Structure 1
């Protein structure tokens, strides 16, 4: 079987590695032979201290200097003007230890950062973009340095909560959907009292840690992280980076700042990428061909409160303009208008990418518009996370329709029906029902997608179920999942439903024809997959990582994984878009963004290099189980 290098599998490594080794040795020999006469690209030659070539070194090229961007009164690029992003390009060294970058202009200067697990970073400043470089990388000197450099998922995997598996799952479900949970920011020394303060603040932000678990969780976090800091050998090692990574390129466009959250985005048919800043109500229109971008602010009415109907939950946040809370994006198939869920309003936002005008569609009911998709009949489908509904805007009729999803108990039914009364109170005086591990009252419809056959599928994060709507007769069917925490979902070309099992660290396929669930373990430990998308043309599922600084691809036919390391530490991604050429886009939407390695959120593209070879690989054994 032939698989493009961008989808090179990771499972079944023994046989595959033999094939790869022979192929890559041949490529490496050719690379060494051709290195001397290469004049069309700057080449970085990377070796270890013994002079041996180092493969799979992540080499990032950045502009040495950037021009000042004109800012508005809120400290963001002036709306409606064209700005230039400081584009960053990342490539990986081949088996010969070489990475190549196209020459820039004669007077262009750049910076390079070289990174490889187990080695010290190397930074080269003020380099001529056309100049070749030879770089020696040194291994980390101490066990403490090796441990400290490990990603969040590795630390989190060693946190056993004294054997309380259910408490750990509850913690991951509620405390790891905004930021990495075991990063260097989070695993510092804190007392149980300090952790309890953090838990209560996060519950105010939207987490749902059960009232009865707060104190116990605070104690486990305090003692658990301390134990790991003192016993670093308990933290497992990461998988080595795959040598086929030299066949791809990662491009990043820095947008926003440390107070932004680049939540979701859409790749538009016009070639632009539209990214939403959830905390600042700004839409970034990015041209991936040039790196130019423009910013558009969702207009708020005078006197509109921050945080909308939820109130200002982020009173300690230094800079905020979330009157709407732009969240998820969908494109109309009829006119290309973009529809956006404003999670803090009872409305939908419509943006015309030609006129740049916004239209607000008010809704008579429903709370917390969340994820949104469009079908072929120009109907806009979206989840309503708090009121446990599915909404639909029929653009042909100009009207909304709402589908009430079943409550799991009488108590939950009463809470949901009481929401209009609850939200009529001032946010500071609202009654708050007791929070339990089942999140009674908030089953939270989350992900949604439209299948090729027109069926509308959705998942309820706390309800532990999925369901579908038949638009022809408006029937709603619910299906219990054999796993907890179904988050976002997508449907493939064969109408199979792919779901991320968040705290179970799995990708799950549901086959409507057989009514079976098939489970695939994530290829790294303790990853908490947030979202996904399906490349229907190529039969590949792309999965967002958030704890391991990676994203993943899963080949449906071969059931093989590939891991893609991302350039910045503490990268948290929650959306994927797929281009016609198979390139994929995501965004670093860590909240808060100041916890990202340099405090800079980015739009990210992973793409195969031009003229890449196709590598023959063997079939491999998949990590798979089937459940009726």
Structure 2
């Protein structure tokens, strides 16, 4: 079923409006959950893909900051013809129910390290201010700054005990205790339990995700800069609203409802399979998604559910194998996407927490000259190599700042150079490093101020690395051959908390996965210009973007925490531009 829409404001067409048609019975209809498109200069849009939907199953919504939908006028359905609808919008200056979470952080200064820490680290797991945080902040109305600060500090300090008792669901969800769980109601993660010695250590400031300094500056920033009225927001107070759109009239966004209720954090594409492959970390399973029907077929990770596995990062290699890090069992698995045969590689060590596999300029899992893949072990602050043929593992400790422990360093993403001799990595504590895989030695280390938070990274075919600096809301470009910073690109919304970047080899662009802005940014390194691709759903928290190397389509998932509150969707973006062969 096609839908032909026309969008008008005061009788005149409006361009650049995101129009979404949702099939409320997508499961029964074997349809995607929704399809979206953008209006052209004449205010027209055509939505395709809800093949089996019935007219009364459909719900329409629109999104363009500063406008709200007032009237839907449906044409008379005619067999074999597209449905027609006229959507009449009205201008509004109060966009409180339209702006993303990041907009409410507009008063968080760019030169305040506590403010940057909150923007990057707190919004690195859930959007901030989430609705729960907004409710907590609203309850502080009328209090002086000193009293508000004490309330935030107390909430942070009590997080451990409240999460342990599975009671508190309050303001700062990713604090010390809850960082060890998927939600306040779920068991402890990473192969731990409450009697494990590592669990006790991680409950203390010196060994946890957040140390005492970060606790103090974060609470101060929240008290000083986060407001308590979330009912009014003027359009003029959100400058990012004027960012050019990275869309054409041919851009299409398709959402696939995963009906998971868990943490469906990542998705991978491979040319060897007709399916997309994704993980449900909290469900100890992966899925292959049929994009023609929107249905995922779930596959339990070997060993689950008796032994938690925690499938976390998923990437494909050039041979069509799917590689999945298993955080809970300190392992990594390879799945043949054709035969669906598994091989699990254990042996990375207790509390190693296998995290990211190193990828190349086309985002495939990369192998060095000896055939080894490389990955980060966030639990022990180590890089590790794996020989897939023999299972041999080597581990290499990475640097950390003075007085810091391994887990707080948070060794995260990694990429491999074109000559397959160097791995570059990020640490959330503020380090980007280079490692020579042949000598086994560190050969570069860049240090960043507290709150900058280098997150996931990408590498182009000239070995320029791009790093999402979550706290600062910028993207770093660094020439690894010249050993110098090329540029630092500010994003239109500096509180969007960029989580990951993906180098697009064919377009020669960088796609930026924002976790806090319900958007993807397109960055052109040649010009330094950015554009925005709005997403059709609130809490569209992104941790990665993969690319269909045949069509150029982008794939991602919504991966918000805590689990159980969704949304759980796989998302395809047909960019709608011309791609060179």
Q: Give your verdict on TM over 0.5.
A: yes
1:61 aligns with 2:54: no
The residue aligned with 1:333 is 318
The residue aligned with 2:491 is 522
* 2:69 and 2:87 in contact (8 A); partners too: no
The residue aligned with 1:368 is 353
506-515 or 290-299: which moved more? 290-299
SS of 1:589's partner is coil
Closer, same or farther in 2 for the Cα pair 1:98/1:332, shift >3 Å?
closer
The residue aligned with 2:559 is 589
1:501 aligns with 2:469: yes
Counterparts of residues 240-255 of structure 1 (less than 5 Å): 240=242, 242=244, 244-255=247-258
Counterparts of residues 276-425 of structure 1 (less than 5 Å): 276-300=279-303, 304=307, 323-334=308-319, 336-365=320-349, 367-373=352-358, 374-376=365-367, 378-409=371-402, 411-412=403-404, 415-416=405-406
- Post-superposition shift, 1:43? 1.9
Gaps of 5+ in 1: 1-39, 70-83, 305-322, 417-440, 615-628
Closer, same or farther in 2 for the Cα pair 1:46/1:407, shift >3 Å?
closer
1:110-147 deviations in Å (ceiling 9; x for gaps): 3322222222246869985822112211233xx5x423
Closer, same or farther in 2 for the Cα pair 1:550/1:123, shift >3 Å?
farther
Distance in 2, matches of 1:216 and 1:333, equals 45
SS of 2:114's partner is helix
Closer, same or farther in 2 for the Cα pair 1:217/1:446, shift >3 Å?
closer
Distance in 1, matches of 2:13 and 2:282, equals 45
1:430-458 deviations in Å (ceiling 9; x for gaps): xxxxxxxxxxx631211111222213433
1:555-613 deviations in Å (ceiling 9; x for gaps): 23233212100000121101111112222111111112555xxx432111211348x69
Closer, same or farther in 2 for the Cα pair 1:65/1:369, shift >3 Å?
same
* 1:114 and 1:123 in contact (8 A); partners too: no
* 1:114 and 1:122 in contact (8 A); partners too: no
1:175 aligns with 2:137: no
1:480 aligns with 2:472: no
* 1:262 and 1:278 in contact (8 A); partners too: yes
- Post-superposition shift, 1:96? 0.8
Distance in 2, matches of 1:340 and 1:295, equals 15
- Post-superposition shift, 1:298? 1.1
The residue aligned with 2:46 is 100
* 1:346 and 1:365 in contact (8 A); partners too: yes
Closer, same or farther in 2 for the Cα pair 1:130/1:593, shift >3 Å?
farther
- Picking from 98, 102, 110, the partner of 1:149 is 98
Closer, same or farther in 2 for the Cα pair 1:176/1:393, shift >3 Å?
same
1:384-409 deviations in Å (ceiling 9; x for gaps): 01201111111133311111223434
110-119 or 172-181: which moved more? 110-119
* 1:507 and 1:522 in contact (8 A); partners too: yes
* 1:469 and 1:475 in contact (8 A); partners too: yes
Closer, same or farther in 2 for the Cα pair 1:44/1:173, shift >3 Å?
closer
- Post-superposition shift, 1:52? 1.0
- Picking from 256, 261, 267, the partner of 2:263 is 261
Distance in 2, matches of 1:96 and 1:249, equals 17
**TM-score (norm. length: structure 1):** 0.73
Closer, same or farther in 2 for the Cα pair 1:95/1:241, shift >3 Å?
farther
- Post-superposition shift, 1:301? 5.6
Gaps of 5+ in 2: 141-150, 164-174, 180-207, 359-364
* 2:102 and 2:129 in contact (8 A); partners too: yes
* 1:347 and 1:360 in contact (8 A); partners too: yes
* 1:501 and 1:529 in contact (8 A); partners too: yes
- Post-superposition shift, 1:237? 4.4
377-386 or 535-544: which moved more? 377-386
The residue aligned with 2:177 is 204
- Post-superposition shift, 1:528? 1.1
Closer, same or farther in 2 for the Cα pair 1:64/1:168, shift >3 Å?
closer
1:130 aligns with 2:82: yes
* 2:210 and 2:408 in contact (8 A); partners too: no
Distance in 1, matches of 2:494 and 2:400, equals 34
The residue aligned with 1:453 is 419
- Post-superposition shift, 1:153? 1.4
Distance in 2, matches of 1:103 and 1:340, equals 30
* 2:101 and 2:128 in contact (8 A); partners too: yes
Distance in 1, matches of 2:302 and 2:429, equals 35
Distance in 2, matches of 1:564 and 1:340, equals 28
The residue aligned with 2:204 is none
- Picking from 12, 27, 37, the partner of 1:91 is 37
The residue aligned with 1:45 is 6
**TM-score (norm. length: structure 2):** 0.78
SS of 1:187's partner is helix
SS of 1:146's partner is coil
397-406 or 184-193: which moved more? 184-193
Distance in 2, matches of 1:187 and 1:343, equals 31
Closer, same or farther in 2 for the Cα pair 1:134/1:554, shift >3 Å?
same
- Post-superposition shift, 1:490? 1.1
The residue aligned with 1:606 is 573
Closer, same or farther in 2 for the Cα pair 1:44/1:338, shift >3 Å?
same
The residue aligned with 1:578 is 547
- Post-superposition shift, 1:544? 0.4
* 1:255 and 1:600 in contact (8 A); partners too: no
